[in-house]
Amino acid sequence: MNPYDVNKVREDFPILKRKIYGKNLVYLDNAATTQKPQSVIDTVVKYYSESNSNIHRGVHYLSQEATVVFEEARENIQQYVNAKEKKEIIITKGTTDSINLMANSFGKKNVNEGDEVIISALEHHSNLVPWQQLCKEKKATLKIVPVNDQGEFLFDEYVKLLNSKTKLVTVSHVSNALGSINPIKEIIEKAHEFNIPVMIDGAQGISHCSVDVQQLDCDFYAFSGHKFYAPMGVGILYGKEKYLEEMPPYQMGGEMVDQVSFEKTSFNELPFKFEAGTPNVEAVLGLNAALEYIKNIGMENIARHENKLLNYATQELKKIDGIRFIGEAVNRAGVISFLIGDIHPFDAGTIIDHFGIAVRTGHHCAQPILDHFNIPGTVRASFAMYNTIEEIDLLTTTVKQVKTMFE
Ligand code: PMP
C-alpha cells in the first residue's frame, strides 16, 4: 500500500468500531495481542462453515481439501520467513509452545551437566522459565546477558559469556516490556564463531520487522500467530533441518508416528514428528490469511508507520512533567513503557481504561528486567499498523489528566 493510508487499514478491523464506556476504543495493547482483519475472521468462519474436517487422516473429500489448504498455509509461512524447506516449519500452539518444544527436545538432548545456556536479561518468562528449569534438572547453568539503563543488550558482555560449554543462545528479537530491538544478526554471527546454535524468540519481532531466517542465519525462530494479526492458538517454530532431524519428538500421540506396535514405535518424518494430535487448523488458515494481508500492506510500510507513532508518542509524552520512560534503546519497535510520577501503574492503567484506552500495566511477564530498574511494573502502550496520531494525542491528554487527578 503506497502511500500508507491508516484510515483505510482501520476499515479492515471491525473491532476498532467498538465503543468502550461510550468512547471510541483506542487499542494500545498490541504487544499482548493484535486485532484481526476481516479477511482473517472470514477465513476462520469459512473454514467452519464449509470445510471443517480433520486433516492428514481422511480419504474423504473434505479431509483432503482441508489437508491441502493446511499444507499450502505451511508453504506460505515458509516463503514468508524464507525458510529453505517446508519441513523446517513446525506448527505449534504459539511462541511458548515452540520454546517448550525446544527446551524439552533440543535442550534435553544437548544440554548436560556443566553445560551453559545463554539468554538475555530482557526475556519474557516464556524464554526464561523453560531454560531455567532445564538447567536445574540437568545441573547446567543459565547465563544472563545484562542490559544497560536504556534497556540495550550489552554485546561485549555477551561475547564474554560464549565458550565451549555453551549449548544454545536464545534471545528475543524485540523485547515485549521495553521494545528494545536486539542486534540478532550480530548475536547469531558471534555464536556461530563458536559453533553454537541460536534461537530467536520472535513473538514481538515478527509483527514489526521483516524476517528472513536464511539471511539472519538463525538456527531457530519462534513466533505466535495472535501477535501477528492472526488467530490465537497457533504459532511457528522454524528450525534448520540439520537440527530438527536430530531432535527427539517432544509430545507423543497421533500423527507424529510412523509404525506403532505394543512393543515399539517409529516416528514420522519432519515436520510431523513434532506435530502430535489434531492441530488448530482454522488458526493456521487464519495465519495464512494474515500473511496475505500483511504482504499486501507491506511490512516496510507497517514498520515506518509504527516508528512514526513511537517517535511521536515519545515526543509528546516527554512534555509531561514527571513522566519517566523505562527503556530508551536507540533501536526500538512498537512499545513505549513509562511511569507517571509516583502513581502506581495499575492505578494509572485503570483510569486510562475508563477513557476507552487499552494499555497494559504490570510486569509484562518479564519480571527480571523490571527488577533491574527497581520498579514493580510500567504502563505500556504498544502500537500496531492501525493506530493513529490522534490516538496518541488522546493517550497524552489522558495521561495528563491522570497526573492532575493524583496531584
Ligand atoms: N516472548 C515474547 C517476547 C512475548 O512478548 C510473548 C507474549 N507476550 C511470548 C514470548 C509468549 O507468547 P505466547 O503467549 O503467544 O506464547
* Domain match, 134 and 259 both: yes
Residue nearest to atom 14 of ligand 1 (CA): 96
| DSSP per-residue codes, 173-204 | SB-TTT-BBP-HHHHHHHHHHTT--EEEE-TT
Q: 26-27 and 335-340: which strand pairing?
A: unpaired
Is the residue at 365 inside a domain?
yes
Q: Distance between CA 378 and CA 360 in Å, rounded?
A: 8
CA 201 to ligand 1 center in whole angstroms: 8
* Domain match, 236 and 320 both: no
Q: Distance between CA 55 and CA 67 in Å, rounded?
A: 5
- Per-residue pLDDT, averaged over 172-188, amounts to 97
Asked if pLDDT for residue 101 goes beyond 90, the answer is yes
CATH number at residue 335: 3.90.1150.10
Q: Long-range contacts of range 252-260, CB-CB < 8 Å, 24 or more positions apart? A: 252/276, 253/277, 254/278, 255/56, 255/57
- Per-residue pLDDT, averaged over 177-203, amounts to 97
CA 174 to ligand 1 center in whole angstroms: 11
Output the ligand 1 site: residues, CB below 6 A: 94-96, 124, 126-127, 172, 176, 201, 203-204, 224, 365
CA 400 to ligand 1 center in whole angstroms: 30
pLDDT at 145: 98
Helix (H, G, I), strand (E, B) or coil at 360: strand
- 279, 295, 311 - which closes a domain: 295
Testing ligand 1's pocket by substitution, the residue of 93, 96, 120, 363 carrying the most ligand atoms inside 8 A of its CB is 96
- Per-residue pLDDT, averaged over 57-64, amounts to 90
Which atom of ligand 1 is closest in space to residue 94's alpha carbon?
16
> For 28-37, 265-274, 331-340, 370-379, which range has the lowest pLDDT when averaged over its residues?
370-379
Asked if pLDDT for residue 53 goes beyond 90, the answer is yes
Which atom of ligand 1 is closest in space to residue 226's alpha carbon?
15
* Domain match, 362 and 282 both: no
CA 58 to ligand 1 center in whole angstroms: 34
Write phi, then psi, for 102 (nearest 5 degrees). -60, -45
* Domain match, 282 and 313 both: no
* Full residue range of the structural domain in which residue 146 is found: 41-295
Q: Quick check: pTM over 0.85?
A: yes
Helix axes 95-102, 129-138, angle to 10 degrees: 20
* Domain match, 257 and 121 both: yes
pLDDT at 100: 98
Which atom of ligand 1 is closest in space to residue 123's alpha carbon?
3
Helix axes 345-353, 389-406, angle to 10 degrees: 120
Asked if pLDDT for residue 364 goes beyond 90, the answer is no
Q: What is the mean pLDDT of the chain?
A: 96
Which active-site residues does the annotation give?
365
pLDDT at 3: 86
244-293 pLDDT, tens digit per residue, is 999 999 999 988 989 999 999 999 999 999 999 999 999 999 999 999 99
**Chain Cα centroid distance, residue 153:** 18
* Domain match, 129 and 217 both: yes
* Domain match, 166 and 77 both: yes
CATH number at residue 238: 3.40.640.10
pLDDT at 110: 98
Q: Distance between CA 101 and CA 258 in Å, rounded?
A: 20
CA 292 to ligand 1 center in whole angstroms: 22
Share of the chain above pLDDT 70, in %: 100
Share of the chain above pLDDT 90, in %: 93
Testing ligand 1's pocket by substitution, the residue of 34, 92, 95 carrying the most ligand atoms inside 8 A of its CB is 95
pLDDT at 130: 98
Residue nearest to atom 8 of ligand 1 (CA): 32
Is the residue at 317 inside a domain?
yes
Q: 141-145 and 116-120: which strand pairing?
A: parallel
Which atom of ligand 1 is closest in space to residue 96's alpha carbon?
16
* Domain match, 50 and 25 both: no
Testing ligand 1's pocket by substitution, the residue of 101, 119, 126, 228 carrying the most ligand atoms inside 8 A of its CB is 126
| Overall domain count for the chain | 2
- Distance (Å) of CA 190 to CA 158, 162, 186, 198, 244: 9, 9, 6, 10, 22
Is the residue at 35 inside a domain?
no
- Per-residue pLDDT, averaged over 176-180, amounts to 94
CA 95 to ligand 1 center in whole angstroms: 6
Asked if pLDDT for residue 57 goes beyond 90, the answer is no
Cis peptide before 279 (omega within 30 of 0): no
Which atom of ligand 1 is closest in space to residue 98's alpha carbon?
16
Which atom of ligand 1 is closest in space to residue 176's alpha carbon?
5
* Domain match, 26 and 71 both: no
pLDDT at 407: 84
pLDDT at 362: 87
Asked if 254 and 279 count as a contact pair (C-beta separation under 8 A), the reply is no
Testing ligand 1's pocket by substitution, the residue of 93, 123, 365, 382 carrying the most ligand atoms inside 8 A of its CB is 365
Asked if pLDDT for residue 99 goes beyond 90, the answer is yes
pLDDT at 296: 96
* Domain match, 122 and 12 both: no
* Domain match, 255 and 340 both: no
- 295, 310, 336 - which closes a domain: 295
* Domain match, 227 and 90 both: yes
- 256, 272, 295 - which closes a domain: 295
